[in-house]
Amino acid sequence: MRCVTCGQEYAVTELRYACDCGGLLEIVRDPRELARLKTSTFDARRTSGDPWDQSGVWRFREAVMDVGTAAIVTHPEGGTRLYHRDALDAYAGVAGVRFKHEGENPTGSFKDRGMTVATTQAKRVGATAVACASTGNTSSSLAAYAAQAKLRAIVFLPEGKVTIGKMAQTLAYGALCLQVRGDFDAAMRLVSEAADKLGIYLLNSKNPWRIEGQKTIVWEMLQDLGWDAPDWISVPAGNLGNTSAFGKALKEAHEAGWIKTVPRLLCVQASGANPFFKSFAEQWKTRHKVAAETVASAIRIGDPVSYDKARTAIEYTQGIVTEVTDVELMMAKRAIDGAGIGCEPASACSLAGVRQQVATGAIKPGARVVCVLTGNVLKDPDVIVKGIDGLPPLPAPVVIDPTIEAVRKAVGG
């Protein structure tokens, strides 16, 4: 593990989540070893019957974590689909826009890709209890993997800010839920302190093994495309773990010769939770913190932990960071839901961002674009039923008598 700030190195078996200088740690790989791995090996594993080959994470295991297959804690995860719908081309303003649906993971979000690796590491270092701060998806994923690995699960949630779907799921898998009086950023600070002082293993994306697992969103997407890289990858951004992972995945894939060109990242925040956008807009002059408020609860984060790594990812890919309003992201969600795909509000930022950047001319209409959908449509049922201000409501369910006349009336003849 190497510090991204000062370069200090630590053994991968050491139990720590940050450098002594406070910097983020990253797993470093020998580029020559990566270059020895061939995409044909990964492709052949797709038809294997073994769980670690079927896993869209462990299929790439030599570039994720060096561990014997017997030690792997896998559901399996990944293996998510890549969608195309004509109606969404029209919405985005580009032909052939694809959607990598990470909501199809076992617990309904991409967090499973990081969690399978970080849980495997937790077992490897002998942890007995694992913890995270979460807006609901990380906690659901942690709870499921901890249950499988027989580890105690303790999650720190901002009180009253977690959707009913995510809270129910986290409870169902048996985690102890601590509802912190404060926002996500307060819960994040508290769990970091708890990990240091109480010896609980931390599974937030500050843990570099989460990032190693999440790289495979990009690798599996490239594999879906026959290793022919797109021009743009659009991703919603909250705590910036994914943005960081995508940058690392693209750098490693390019250096290993798996792809010939490096796609540009479009990193999309909600305008009420936009600290990374603010920093980007002023050429990284200041690292901003905001009091976050947005309907997209998964990215309601004001002080993103992986800022430094994410900035490197944007610079490496010549990426763009932007913001979209709650109405814009909910309109994009309507389009995705209405195309029969479905996603949670935060996920739709990817499409809303592409539509905006096509309108400004930054993304050309002929560009090859992949949007990542981060979470499942059922993660936030309330927002679908209740809607938000400024968004036309969906038709309400109609109650009728059990007669054919009532049906005729309800369907308008």
**Binding residues for ligand PLP (CB under 6 A):** 109, 111, 137, 205, 236-243, 298-299, 344, 346-347, 374-375
User: Phi and psi of 100, rounded to 5°?
Assistant: -90, 110
Question: Smaller CB distance to Zn ion: residue 19 or 305?
Answer: 19
Residue 5 makes contact with Zn ion by CB under 5 A: yes
Nearer to ligand PLP, 234 or 242 (CB): 242
Taking the least distance from each CB to Zn ion, the nearer of 8 and 128 is: 8
Residue whose CB is less far from ligand PLP, 169 or 205: 205
Q: Closer CB to ligand PLP, residue 39 or residue 244? A: 244
**169: Cα within 13 Å, side-chain hemisphere:** 25
Residue 3 lies near Zn ion (rule: CB under 5 A): yes
**Position with the least CB separation from ligand PLP:** 375
- Minimum CB separation of residue 2 from Zn ion in Å reads 9
Shortest Cβ distance from residue 373 to ligand PLP (Å)? Answer: 8
Shortest distance, position 192 Cβ to Zn ion, whole Å: 16
CB of 112 to ligand PLP, least distance (A): 10
Helix (H, G, I), strand (E, B) or coil at 47: coil
Task: Pick one of Zn ion, ligand PLP, none as the site partner of residue 319 (Cβ within 5 to 8 A by kind).
Answer: none
* Contact partner, 23, from ligand PLP, Zn ion, none, Cβ < 5-8 Å per class: Zn ion
Residue 285 main-chain phi, psi, to 5 deg: -60, -45
Residue 284, C-beta contacts closer than 8 angstroms, at least 6 positions apart: 311
By a kind-dependent CB cut-off of 5 to 8 A, residue 133 interacts, out of Zn ion, ligand PLP, none, with none
User: Within positions 208 to 267, which residues make up the interface with Zn ion, using CB under 5 A?
Assistant: none
Task: DSSP for 111-148, please give it.
Answer: HHHHHHHHHHHHHHTT-SEEEEE-SSHHHHHHHHHHHH
SS3 152: strand
Contact pattern from residue 7 through residue 46 relative to Zn ion, giving x for each residue in contact according to CB under 5 A and a dash for the rest: -x----------x-x-x-----------------------
Residue number, 192 or 243, with CB nearest to ligand PLP: 243
Nearer to Zn ion, 92 or 202 (CB): 202
Cα 370 to Cα 367: distance, rounded to the nearest angstrom: 10
* DSSP string covering 259-314: -SSPPEEEEEEETTS-HHHHHHHTTT-S--------S-GGG--SS-TTHHHHHHHH
Q: Distance of CA 98 to CAs 77, 80, 86, 261, Å?
A: 20, 13, 10, 18
- Burial zone of 124 (CB within 10 Å; 0-12 exposed, 13-18 middle, 19+ buried): middle
- Interface with Zn ion (CB under 5 A): 3, 5-6, 8, 19, 21, 23
